[in-house]
Amino acid sequence: MNGGRSAHAKHLWAVAFVALGCCVTARAQTGISRTNDYREDVRVLKQLEQDGLDAYREGDADKMSRILADDFVGRWADGSTTDKRGTVEPVRTGEEKHSANQLVECNVRIYGDTAVVTGIQTEKSTLEGRDGSGRYSFTDVFVKRNGRWQIVAPETKRVASQTGVQKSAGDRIIGTWHLVSAGTFRRDGSFEPYPQYGPNATGYLMYDSTGHMCVSLANPNHPHWVDPEKPTEADKIRSYDVFFAYCRTYEIREKEGRIIHRPEMGSWPHYVGTDQARNFRVEGIRLILSAEETPPQGERRQYQITWQRVSLPKLCDTAKVAGISMSDDSLGNTSKVKPNATSSAHCSQPRFWAVKCNFRTADQG
């Protein structure tokens, strides 16, 4: 009997060991399966990143549409946002085109049916005629639905140019410029300021990263109207003569050293709907625009308008004097300046071409 019990116990132990072995094997196989699934997801996500760049380069809107989820909302380096349609259509129409791009770095983290992909890409691109070339960091959020990964929320940031690397023309002209001088060159080479604006003319020129611009020139010594509510015809004519402005879009042709302004509105109606070509060059903190013109019943001459960049610290100084709080959302820094404050406003230089500064009075907090 004892022998029988011993044999039975051995049999039970053998069955237990076999069952345990099967369990361990099953768990190991499950672990291997999960590892394989994870690796496959990583491979797919990296391929989708490459497919997105290929779609931009090939102008393949259908491929781009398959990668983006229907509830897609992207935030880009210039601060703008687009939904799926607003991202796909420029690819379809050719308004956004990459002549070259490269995925430099790609890192994947997966959390169930959500994945975060970060990395670096370079591109040589145009969007609505403006140069978007550069080096960008990106963070793309993917969601897996019905076994398919799609992007729901990307964000890109322009990576600052490395020391010694030449910035593009777009990088160099984006911002606000204050007038230094405006006029024409005489035959003897001397410079003559525009008489209607006077020797101390003032003005501003602004280029933004969405491809829009605005320019104004004025005579700062323009006399006030006798009656602000009822200007005379002479008042109106004089006001027209001493002020000039127009706004809309621009295009940079860097290889030609030219910039094209395309006014949609302006104080001089004959500019509206035309292409206004200017030669341009950047010398340090100055932007010099020039061209040739032939005034009515006059000889052909060259004019030149010189601008100087309005630096961010100067804007902060203005905020300090006015008792204004300035926050630089793009850098995450905020500093409130109270009236008569002894400390200066905190203000950082932009990391890339578009820096948003939100102003509010100190009383508003």
Radius of gyration of the chain (CA): 31
pLDDT at 277: 93
For the cut 90, the answer to whether the pLDDT of residue 294 exceeds it is no
Name the average pLDDT for the chain.
Answer: 79
Position with higher pLDDT, 133 vs 163: 133
What is the pTM assigned to this prediction? Answer: 0.45
For the chain, domains (ranges, CATH) are 36-158 (3.10.450.50), 169-309 (2.40.128.280), 312-364 (no CATH)
For the cut 80, the answer to whether the pLDDT of residue 198 exceeds it is yes
Tokens of 307: 């601008």
Q: In this structure, is the dihedral angle defined by the CA atoms of residues 228, 229, 235 and 238, taken in order, positive or negative?
A: positive
Q: Residue 211: which region, alpha, beta or left (left: phi > 0; alpha: psi -120 to 50)?
A: left
The answer to whether the beta carbons of residues 265 and 247 sit under 8 Å apart is yes
pLDDT at 364: 36
Q: Which residues lie below 8 Å from residue 72, measured CB to CB, with a gap of 6+?
A: 83, 84, 87, 150, 151, 152, 153
Which strands, in side-by-side order, build the sheet including 357-361?
333-335, 324-328, 357-361
Gap between the Cα atoms of 216 and 131, Å rounded: 24
pLDDT at 315: 43
Identify the band that residue 359 occupies on the pLDDT scale cut at 50, 70 and 90: very low
Gap between the Cα atoms of 278 and 252, Å rounded: 10
Identify the band that residue 301 occupies on the pLDDT scale cut at 50, 70 and 90: confident
Q: Which residues lie below 8 Å from residue 133, measured CB to CB, with a gap of 6+?
A: 123, 124, 125, 168, 170
For the cut 90, the answer to whether the pLDDT of residue 97 exceeds it is no
pLDDT per residue as tens digits for the range 218-264? 999 988 898 999 999 999 988 989 999 999 999 998 888 899 999 99
